[in-house]
Chain A
Amino acid sequence: MNKFSSNGYLDMELLRFTTAGSVDDGKSTLIGRLLYDSKSIFEDQYEAIRLTSERRGEEYVNLALLTDGLKAEREQGITIDVAYRYFATPKRKFIIADTPGHIQYTRNMVTGASTANLAIILVDARKGVIEQTRRHAFIASLLGIPHMVMCINKMDLVDYDEAVFEQIKKQFQTFASKLNVKDIQFIPISALNGDNVVDKSVNMNWYGGPTLMYLLETIHIGSDLNLVDCRFPVQLVIRPHNNDFHDYRAYAGRIAGGIFKPGDKVMVLPSGFTTHIKSIEGPDGPVKEAFAPMSVSIRLEDELDISRGDMISRENNKPEVSQDIDVMVCWMNAKKLQLNGKYSIKHTTRDARCVIKKIHYKINVNTLHRIQDDKEIGINDIGRISIRTTQPLFFDKYQLNRNTGSVIFIDEATHETLGAGMII
């Protein structure tokens, strides 16, 4: 058996991270280096971008071309949309959501951040913490990303000076005290020269911490999901119409929180009936327990009227149930959010409609100040609103559970996704 067909590869964890930075801070160079050094760039890909760079008269092979896949992006030299990149090391498998720094930054960053466990934020060592750094950090914290890695880049251009690094670190920590992030790390790097990216820098002996790659490979992500509060939104009902499984009825879905076991006493919402779990089917057959984010189907002891959008949880640990909900919304469409406007919404597996009852304030994403006198929420704006839904939602605060605390707003006429909401 070789190293790949042994259990090594199958034993790896998956880390999803997002990268944020502004135009010239070396984000593409950093991603290119992570991909290149982990041998995730293939010869034909490299050859294709080398030729394109050459044709454009660029001095270096432009690694940004790896992620800018669309014709319009390549023509204009900008990133329009979130791009997903994949690489693996012998320790972990990684999904990068690479978000453009300038155009539609909020919309794209929010999208990329919504599924990430970790955010890499790049800071140019020569510029220190600037407006964009604060904006990126705020969005990462708003989206509940548990780990933040501040990469102080271009250390080679400040003579690998420890004082510069410490100064930026201090500057950022002052700001970060206002944010809700569990874990912030600082790494001095040079993406161009590879200092502290994969290999430890020989130019910064004063730095005793991990390299970026080591951190990505080892950071503890096992506690990122909520394994305490049991939440199972019913996705659909499985009822085989065949003779072998006559009275079989199972509720399929993805566990949104907690751990479920056969025999557990559970309560079903909205009906409020209680019953016990008879069995849980995983993708490979019955399981003794199931936890987030597994996709399973659950059979119950009693026959109850349960359908898509219902929630299975515990009697003494239920989600909140309400039609009046406060949400931090990030707006993603040129059509402004309308006070008293009606929208379709999706929350877990539940579809509903809502009306916007109140716009409390808008947030200045650079200073975190609340703007009270301008309550127009347009594209890329973030603000706090109150909504009333046509039927109760079963939810938790977003900071407690991203799966049961998130909601999207949909235009009833065009069906476009207009906004993303985090329940507060």
Chain B
Amino acid sequence: MQSYNLKHIKELEAESLFVIREVVAQFEKPVLLFSGGKDSIVMLHIAYKAFYPAGLPFPLLHIDTGHNFPETLQYRDELVARLKARLVVGSVQESINNGRVAEEIGINASRNVLQTVTLLDAMEEHGFDAAMGGGRRDEEKARAKERFFSHRDEFGQWDPKNQRPELWNLFNGKKYQGEHFRVFPLSNWTEMDVWQYILLENIPMPSLYFSHYRECVNRKGVLLARSEFIKLQKDEKWEKMKIRFRTIGDMSCTGAALSDASSIEEIIEEVAAARQTERGTRADDKRSETAMEDRKREGYF
């Protein structure tokens, strides 16, 4: 007998499809935030399905910190060409040049926080009224409280104590001119779901996710890859290690993990056995207990 029961990955996909279509139906000028990380890759994959055989009805927005892994940029450009998508780039370097933000100083200087200003400026410049992000509720405790449709005021701020209740599949995207929404179609996915879906759908991934040899420095337990952005401190040295990245952000704050996983199957095995959250390797979350919430309030991803 035919079973009328959707398996969980397909149910999550159906939910994300619905949310992405709802964004296009409710907003005038949506955009999809594309970082080149696995979550935004999966979100884009689902978005493409949502409108097929029509093309993507919105552009992709990449906030380029200038500290990206070269592999990320290459992957981004190939994917954009393959999907015939439109790409808008917001440049943190430009924000610095224009005096909108000042470069951080100190040994752990990063452009992570600066991205928020560039993001909000890009949204304003292009008149985007909804930005879809790959954030998931299982990633971080402040994100566990996030809505699918998350309202931002005219300053792009998030007010976590005063969020609109969100019931059933009825998403309230009403807003005033100048305000915008962040939308998280993958809210209910876990890291494991994302990898399982990548395997199921056979989605090509950036090489950074697979095990490779790279020179890294061990800074208080975070393995940072060698680049012009990382300056060695006293008693630190570059060491060749077999690593992969569990999340991909800036070269200045994304830590690598020692790993032999060289295929999606092996990554899944590793994720299943992992005893650390994926963001455990992110230096940007380690700044304080509420680092994520503080940044999100200001308008971070």
Contacts and interface: CB of A to CB of B under 8 A. Distances in A.
Nearest to A65: B141
B82 interface: no
A111 B53 CA distance: 35
B144 to A, nearest CB: 5
Contact of B4 (A5, A11, A227, A245): A227
B276 A42 contact: yes
A114 interface: yes
A291 B7 CA distance: 13
Contacts of A84: 137, 144, 187-188
A184 interface: no
A380 B160 CA distance: 19
B219 interface: no
A308 B49 CA distance: 19
Interface string A28-71: 00000000000000111100100010000000000000111111
B144 A83 contact: yes
B5 A111 contact: no
A244 interface: yes
B75 to A, nearest CB: 23
B8 A42 contact: no
Contact of B14 (A13, A294, A420): A294
Interface stretch (A18-26, A129-137, A402-410): A402-410
B3 to A, nearest CB: 7
A93 interface: yes
B220 interface: no
Contacts, number: 198
A175 B276 CA distance: 45
Interface in B245-301: 264-265, 268-269, 272, 274-277, 280, 289-290, 293-294
B172 A410 contact: yes
B88 interface: no
A293 B174 contact: no
B54 interface: yes
A110 interface: yes
A275 B108 CA distance: 64
Interface in A277-318: 281, 283-284, 289, 291, 293-295, 308
Nearest to A94: B8
A72 interface: yes
Interface in A214-244: 221-222, 227, 235-236, 238-242, 244
A188 to B, nearest CB: 30
Given A245-B54, A346-B171, 11 more contacts: A5-B268, A42-B274, A42-B280, A69-B144, A88-B190, A236-B25, A238-B53, A295-B17, A347-B170, A406-B168, A420-B167
9 contacts: A4-B268, A5-B199, A5-B268, A42-B277, A81-B145, A81-B160, A84-B187, A238-B53, A295-B17
